[in-house]
Amino acid sequence: MNYMFFVYVFIAVLFSVLMYKYYKKNYDNNVIEFKKENVDIDVYFFSELYLKKSKNRKLWLHLPFVKNSRDWESFGSRTSHKLNLAYMTLCIKSIIDWCGQTYDIIIYDDTNIPVLLPETKVDLTKLSGTLLDKYRELCKLQILHMYGGIMVPPSLFLRKNIKEIDDPKLWFVCETYNDDNVSFSNLTHSTQLMGSNAENVELNKYIQLYAKELTKDFVENHNFDMNYFKKNQIPYIDGKLIGTRTRYNDKISIEDLMSNKKIILDKHHIGLYIPHDQLIKRRVYNWYCNLNEEEVLKCNVFISYYMLSAMS
């Protein structure tokens, strides 16, 4: 009797393994076929109808500029030359390629905020500078609280599905660069990449405190979020998983990303985060933002090596 029991267990385990391999191979093949297709970005731009039909977990991409449909025809055309943000176009394509079948991807800009957040009284299109950055941040937090999902920076280049680091049951942040420090000397807990379930209690507490901070001196309170995340032990994605740390836990600087030296990343990492705000602020490096797609992929810097190797 014991012998037959072990036979049944063995058959059940073998069947489970074979089924897992079958579905994984089928999924991988679907991803490969999906990646071959030209992607019409308009399909992923925010619309009320698309939002209402959305059934999967949402992946939010906020563009720090207003969408121009003439410049975003499809990823199969040379739209990046018009945008002068070819590397970001490649990043967004990688996100769609890897996550388009498991998430409902929603790309939005500041003009979509009044529809996404009907109770918002601030018109972001009339703000600029630090004030705009702060209110954009508040809106991102409120969107996650209302709808749930994962907020992904458009300058994250993926080589795996982001579901590998996503946890739909809690609010989490990530470990990335301090945007107030151009030299990238510090890594901190940040909302550059964050996820949450809808109506998360901890996220709501943070939103209330963050909204109060908006009425105070921004310079005086610029470390508010970092201190809050650590003090309240908010879960975070290790920098090694998104390319802000090496396999050996060393910080990766902008100088590293824009050099031609080899960077050893963790074997479990899912992609490479490229800090767009800092890249465009550094005069010695912001030329990279003006390249077209072909020039980006041929460029003699680590970011380009990484993209090219992931696409091959």
In DSSP notation, 25-71 reads HHHHHHHHHHHHS---GGGTB--HHHHHH--SPEEEEE-SS---GGG
pTM, 2 dp: 0.82
Q: Would the pLDDT of 115 be above 80?
A: yes
How far, CA to CA in Å, does 267 sit from each of 140, 152, 187, 245, 249? Answer: 30, 21, 20, 12, 12
Q: 71 pairs with which residues across the strands?
A: none
Contact 232, 178 (CB under 8 A): no
Please tell me the distance from the alpha carbon of residue 309 to that of residue 312, in angstroms, as a whole number.
Answer: 5
The mean pLDDT value for 138-144 works out to 98
For residue 182, give the nearest of 286, 312, 86, 305 by alpha carbon.
286
What class has domain 38-311? alpha beta
What are the tens digits of pLDDT across the range 15-71?
655 665 554 455 455 444 444 556 667 789 999 999 999 999 999 999 987 555 435
pLDDT, residue 226, reads 74
pLDDT bin (cut points 50, 70, 90) of residue 214 is confident
| CA dihedral of residues 37, 42, 43, 46 (deg, nearest 10) | 150
Q: Would the pLDDT of 135 be above 50?
A: yes
pLDDT bin (cut points 50, 70, 90) of residue 213 is confident
pLDDT, residue 78, reads 37
List all residues 6 or more positions away from 48 whose beta carbon is below 8 Å from its beta carbon. Answer: 115
pLDDT, residue 79, reads 40
pLDDT, residue 227, reads 84
pLDDT, residue 61, reads 98
What are the extents of the domains in the chain?
A: 38-311
pLDDT bin (cut points 50, 70, 90) of residue 312 is confident
What are the tens digits of pLDDT across the range 253-292?
999 999 999 999 999 999 999 999 889 989 999 999 999 9
pLDDT, residue 276, reads 93
pLDDT, residue 31, reads 42
Mean pLDDT of the chain: 85
